[in-house]
Amino acid sequence: MLRKLGLTISYFIAIVYIVSILLPALYCLRQGCKGPGELDAFMPAFMLTPFDAIATAFSLHNAIQQIRTRQSWSWVFWPLAIIFSIVLLGVISLIAFVIYYTVRHR
């Protein structure tokens, strides 16, 4: 019971994190972000990156376990696994850029 509740919370946090990245991105694509002031919409996603990356990693791990069970409904987890892995790769690249620019400007 407690494990299912934890996974539910993890999936919810991961989906909210993905939506908090996608909504400002769609706004910028439609309206055109013309300056740094409009990029403030991404700040909630950037501030919560460490916490949300952990939740996304747990969600990806569970999705992979569900795919391995080979049940009739395990196909549902393939798109989730792909989305979660893309998000985790983006988080890793964001952290790498932050480390690179921090070290370079010292």
pLDDT averaged over 10-residue windows placed end to end, the chain, 106 residues: 85 87 83 73 79 87 88 84 89 85 81
Nearest CA to 16 among 63, 62, 48? 48
- Residue-range domain boundaries for the chain: 2-104
Beta-carbon neighbour count of residue 82 at 10 Å?
12
Which amino acid would we find at residue 86?
I
CA distance 69 to 85: 19
pLDDT of residue 4: 85
What length does the chain have? 106
Q: What's the pTM value of the predicted model, to 2 decimals?
A: 0.76
Give me the pLDDT at residue 24, please.
83
Cα–Cα–Cα angle for 91, 8, 24, nearest 5°? 40
DSSP state of 37: T
| Predicted local confidence at residue 7, as pLDDT | 85
